[in-house]
Amino acid sequence: MEFKREICKAKLLDAASDFTEKEAWVELRWDPITGESSRILEEPPSKEALLPEELFKEGIKAFCPFCPENLEKVTPKFLPSLFPEGRPKKGNAVAIPNLRPFDRFSAVIVLGEKHFVKLEELDFETLENGFLLAQEVLKRAKEVHSDLKYLYLNWNFLPASGGSIVHPHLHAFGGVYPSCHLKRIQEACLNYWETYERCVFEKLLEEEKRRGERFLGELNGVSFLLAFAPKGPWDVCFMFPHKEDIRFLSHEDFRGFLKGLKRLFSYFKDKGVYSFNLVLYGSTPLPKDSFWVYGRLIVRRFLNSWGTSDMNAFQALHAEGLTAVRPEDVCEEMKAYFEREDV
């Protein structure tokens, strides 16, 4: 397993220092599992200048179909053949079909009744209800549509992530075809299994623990680490060792995962960032023992007060990860949050 990196340097005359010669750099890295490339820039990111309630004020004021006074009136229901109750519920979480489906099966999981919630205000009970409901919904979808080979969750939190509605919500999907990244993961898992008869995630986890540069910790057996070749700022990966299908994760598995998320949210709050993308790949048609439930989270932000996106042509059209956060530089700081019991 290769952790390949290369630093490219350039010289320029710097106006800030009376045009003296200066050396600048960008570091290229390649993911040890998929070979996908990323670029790490020299300049660290700054804190958001505005608080989230100011940054996202237009979305906060907008009409919300997920608020309790509107949800029953304006959101669709599932067909009775799928969910006889129309909108399955668990505690304060509600599942509804997506009006604009992104895959063969496409559900929205509304997380609680409160419209605007800051990152650090996402409470454990609401998260637990939401993820367990997503699991139940995917179980039922697979029972009805046996051809769903890929089950996965997406979460776009607050508008900088691409989320179109401020009210917290997850997306639960089932599909016949993998996404581009999952296809690369699947190919890597299969190749490694056919060569070594073990899961490539097991090898990665062993190597990251041995190196100690990016490994954050384990909670209820769920492993957390910073990505070697990040797709964005503070790219955190999480793995459920020897668990191959999201439908069969235990309550304790989810509790470990959510404990880790709460620690990450506390860290991000202290860093002054508010928005993120999360994915959890929950099922593939791969041979037994060759795949683990796996996911990752990246921070999203506007680059300035007038809303410049943090995505450019590298991410959008080159499929190239881009960040100014070196995972090794933040590992020890972030790891301290995983050792706290008060989060």
Are residues 189 and 182 in contact, defined by beta-carbon separation less than 8 angstroms? no
Say what percent of the chain tops pLDDT 70.
98
Q: How much is the CA Rg of the chain, to the nearest whole Å?
A: 21
Distance CA 21, CA 219 (A): 48
- For the chain, the structural domain boundaries read 5-41, 52-338
Q: Yes or no: say if 230 and 320 are a contact pair by the CB < 8 Å rule.
A: no
- Does residue 330 carry a pLDDT above 90? yes
Q: Which of the two residues, 253 and 51, has the higher pLDDT score?
A: 253
Cα dist from 222 to 160, 210, 243, whole Å:
28, 17, 10
Whether the pTM exceeds 0.75: the reply is yes
| pLDDT value for 49 | 63
- Across residues 309-331, what is the average pLDDT? 92
pLDDT higher at 176 or 44? 176
The pLDDT tens digits of the residues spanning 35-67 come to: 999 999 987 666 666 788 888 888 889 999 999
User: Smallest Cα–Cα separation from 32: which of 228, 180, 217, 230?
Assistant: 228
Half-sphere exposure of 131 (CA within 13 A, CB side): 26
Q: How far is CA 145 from CA 102, 140, 176, in A?
A: 16, 8, 10
| pLDDT at residue 188 greater than cutoff 80 | yes
Structure tokens at 24: 């600048």
Flag whether pLDDT at 306 surpasses 80: no
The string of DSSP codes covering 303-338 is: SSTT---S--HHHHTS--EEES--HHHHHHHHHHHH
Give me the sheet containing 37-41, strands edge to edge: 5-14, 20-30, 37-41, 321-323
Please name which of 61, 65, 162, 152 lies closest in space to residue 110, comparing C-alpha atoms: 65
Are the beta carbons of 274 and 160 closer than 8 angstroms? Answer: yes
Tell me the C-alpha distance between 249 and 238, whole Å: 14
Pick from 290, 297, 298, 293: nearest CA to 151: 293
Query: At 106, is the secondary structure helix, strand, or coil?
Result: strand
Residue 56's pLDDT is what?
Answer: 84
- Assign 184 a pLDDT band (cuts: 50, 70, 90): very high
Per-residue confidence (pLDDT) for residue 47, from 0 to 100: 64
Q: Which CATH number applies to 52-338? A: 3.30.428.10
Cα gap 178→186, rounded to integer Å: 9
CB < 8 Å & 24+ apart, contacts of 48-54: 48/272, 48/273, 48/274, 48/301, 48/302, 49/304, 49/305, 50/305, 52/118, 52/119, 52/158, 52/274, 53/116, 53/118
Query: For 312-317, what is the mean pLDDT?
Result: 90
pLDDT digits (tens, 9 = 90+) for 69-122: 999 999 999 999 999 999 999 999 999 999 999 999 999 999 999 999 999 999
Average pLDDT, the chain: 94
Residue-wise pLDDT for 132-159, tens only, equals 999 999 999 999 999 999 999 999 999 8
**What pLDDT was estimated at residue 303?**
81
